[in-house]
């Protein structure tokens, strides 16, 4: 059996100055678009190929998912958008992982904070590294959780943090 991985990603930087009528409709900023491409290229370079990409349907997460998918040559029409992932709680995120991870070696979930922070802290065997300003899942941050030869699980502290990548910290 191959190693099982859950990749979690917070959406890239959104445009707070857009004319969007709601938080749900807020698009990515130009920096967010650049970071989405950068992180997709990083995943491609690291050879992480998810069998599923599951995303919140909010505009900024949808755009982030599509940018990453394009860089990874993942068909954008196969991205799964789930309304409950919009500002999802830890329990909603765990239910999503549990319902989509059967017989899956690698999957990617793109969502929002504080849920992404909560999911990472719940699953990680060791406390993950925070930034110097005390943040965990910054915008466009990717955490790769490795379950080893076991299946992806929602059990507390069941995966090691294989990689934690933030756009500012990876090769540009």
Model confidence over 112-162: pLDDT tens digits?
A: 999 999 999 999 999 898 988 889 999 999 999 999 999 999 999 999 999
Looking at the structure of the chain, the number of domains it has is: 1
Share of the chain above pLDDT 90, in %: 88
Written in H, E and C, the secondary structure of the chain is CCCCEEEEEECCCECCCCCCCCCCCCCECHHHHHHHHHHHHHHHHHCCCCCEEEECCCHHHHHHHHHHHHHHCCCHHHCEECHHHCCCCHHHHHHHHHHHCCCCCEEEEEECCCHHHHHHHHHECCCCCCCCCCCCCCCCCEEEEECCCCCCCCCCCCEEEEEEECHHHCCC
Question: Is 165's pLDDT higher than 90?
Answer: yes
User: How many residues belong to the chain?
Assistant: 172
Half-sphere exposure of 67 (CA within 13 A, CB side): 28
Confidence of residue 163 (pLDDT cuts 50, 70, 90): very high
CA end-to-end span of the chain, whole Å?
Answer: 34
Range(s) of the domain holding residue 52: 5-169
What does the pLDDT average to over 54-63? 98
CATH code of the domain in which 155 resides: 3.40.50.1240
Per-residue confidence (pLDDT) for residue 171, from 0 to 100: 61
Q: Taking 80 as the threshold, does the pLDDT of residue 172 lie above it? A: no
């Amino acid at each position: 059996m191959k190693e099982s991985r859950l990749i979690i990603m917070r959406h890239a930087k959104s445009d707070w100055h857009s004319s969007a009528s709601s938080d749900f409709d807020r698009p990515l900023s130009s920096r967010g678009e650049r970071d989405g491409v950068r992180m997709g290229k990083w995943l491609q370079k690291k050879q992480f190929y998810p069998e599923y990409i599951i995303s919140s349907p909010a505009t900024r997460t949808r755009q982030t998912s599509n940018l990453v998918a394009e860089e990874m040559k993942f068909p954008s029409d196969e991205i799964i958008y789930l309304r409950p992932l919009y500002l999802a709680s830890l329990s909603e995120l765990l239910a999503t992982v549990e319902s989509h991870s059967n017989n899956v070696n690698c999957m990617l979930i793109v969502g929002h904070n504080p849920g992404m922070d909560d999911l990472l802290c719940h699953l990680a065997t060791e406390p993950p590294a925070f930034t110097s300003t005390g943040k965990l899942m910054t915008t466009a941050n990717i955490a790769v959780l490795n379950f080893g030869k076991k299946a992806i699980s929602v059990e507390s502290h069941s995966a090691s943090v294989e990689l934690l990548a933030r756009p500012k910290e990876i090769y540009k």
